[in-house]
Structure 1
Amino acid sequence: MAPQTSETLTAERILEATEEVLRRHGPAKATVVDVARALGVSHGSVYRHFRTKAALREAVTKRWLDRTTGVLAAIAAQDRDPEARLRDWLAALFEAKRRKAGDDPELFATYSVLAGESVAAVIEHLTELTGQLTRVVQDGVDAGTFTVADPAVTARALFQATGRFHDPGYAGEWEKPGVQEEFTALVDLLVRGVKA
């Protein structure tokens, strides 16, 4: 990468470089100096944007998690049948996680380590996801499609019930034969449970 001056250095460019450094070195060996070297700047320039190594790692983890959140937010916000949105949202979550694990397993493993360190980013991510799911369930209640006492509690239950299909701890199972059929059967069961 060509050297830059600190005036042209942005947080986004630092995060891109950090992701590349993490891909090459892994979370245990990647350093802020490696990131600065990849950008052609001093490590002090990186620290002007991210005060600590932990802050940089948290920011890159949040950026990675937000890629999934944005896709799902668009589904949750759609103005269409709540049951179809619920099914599509759960399917998109599974597909996004499966794609991340399958397309770049080393980076996925790296982010799994970083997510364990970045508790605040993970909590924010999970809160946003269950908030989106709550919106879909509430819309279903409002439309008379779903009958549940508390949409937020139901959304959390749906999220937890489908954990095998989005929790990184289960990534090794996501490409096994029959997993798509198992996912579909679970979603069918859950939808029947919330329908009016």
Structure 2
Amino acid sequence: MADVVLTKDLILDTAETVFRKFGLAKTNISDIARAIGVSHAALYKYFDGKAALRQAVVERWMHGVFDSLNIVLVDELPAEQKLYRWLSSLRDFKRERARKDPELFAMYTALVAETEGVLIAHTENLLDQLALIIQEGIASGEFTCTDAREAANTVFIATTRFHHAAHSSEWEAPNSDSQFEAICQILFNGLSKKT
């Protein structure tokens, strides 16, 4: 691989593979560099060290959810339908990742837990999107709440069981779909409750 063109994406792809093969604790920068066919010093041009590399791997993986969520944001739908589609998309993305490759999902769950600040930034981005949808509902008169951000926090917390990795063992339960529908209905009723 002497002719390899080193890019951030190549490093991140390789890091993911090496982390998966050897585990998070046992993998170091040299292992990743060796898998690419470059010196470990070459990786330091892109990342300050293992922690920075791990953070970049996690951020890239977590950012994947926004592909489907951003599509929902631009849909011309009533706010309640848009909110339902957004929550469903978030839930489906996480479930699909866990179903498709449970080992990789577990690795990322561990990485997220160990990577300072990444989960906070990710959650803030999700809350921003939720607040935007709720604000649209307030503006159209569909929702009667007055604080979109507070409502977004409430919706996010109320649906945590359906999208947080800590609950992934519950996602395939026979009643998971009906519980998700019930929670959504309660939330929609609360958002549109006449005072």
TM-score, length-scaled by structure 2: 0.94
Task: Confirm or deny: 8 A CA contact 1:36 1:43 kept in the other structure.
Answer: yes
Structure 1 partner of 2:142:
145
For residue 122 of structure 1, report the CA deviation from its aligned partner.
Answer: 1.2
For 2:96, the aligned partner's letter is R
Structure 2 partner of 1:95:
92
Alignment of 1:9-158 (within 5 A): 9-158=6-155
Structure 2 CA distance for aligned equivalents of residues 185 and 4 of structure 1:
56
Question: What is the alpha-carbon root mean square deviation over aligned residues?
Answer: 1.2
For 2:84, the aligned partner's letter is R
For residue 25 of structure 1, report the CA deviation from its aligned partner.
Answer: 1.8
Give the share of equivalent positions with the same residue, in percent: 38
Structure 1 CA distance for aligned equivalents of residues 43 and 106 of structure 2:
24
Structure 1 CA distance for aligned equivalents of residues 23 and 88 of structure 2:
30
Task: Confirm or deny: 8 A CA contact 1:4 1:40 kept in the other structure.
Answer: no
Alignment CA distance shift 1:195-1:3 (3 Å): farther
Task: Confirm or deny: 8 A CA contact 1:173 1:179 kept in the other structure.
Answer: yes
Task: Confirm or deny: 8 A CA contact 1:21 1:30 kept in the other structure.
Answer: yes
Q: Give 3-state SS (helix, strand or coil) of 1:91's partner.
A: helix
For residue 145 of structure 1, report the CA deviation from its aligned partner.
Answer: 0.5
Aligned residue-pair number: 193
| 1:17-61 C-alpha deviation (Å, 9 max, x unpaired) | 111112212212222122111211111111111011100000000
Structure 2 CA distance for aligned equivalents of residues 143 and 188 of structure 1:
19
Structure 1 partner of 2:180:
183
Q: Give 3-state SS (helix, strand or coil) of 1:49's partner.
A: coil
For residue 74 of structure 1, report the CA deviation from its aligned partner.
Answer: 2.3
For 2:58, the aligned partner's letter is T
Higher helix share: 1
For residue 77 of structure 1, report the CA deviation from its aligned partner.
Answer: 3.1
For residue 119 of structure 1, report the CA deviation from its aligned partner.
Answer: 2.4
Structure 1 CA distance for aligned equivalents of residues 78 and 191 of structure 2:
14
| 1:51-73 C-alpha deviation (Å, 9 max, x unpaired) | 11100000000001000123212
Gaps of 5+ in 2: none
Structure 2 CA distance for aligned equivalents of residues 183 and 108 of structure 1:
21
Gaps of 5+ in 1: none
For residue 78 of structure 1, report the CA deviation from its aligned partner.
Answer: 2.5
The structure showing larger relative contact order (alpha-carbon pairs under 8 Å, at least 6 residues apart) is: 1
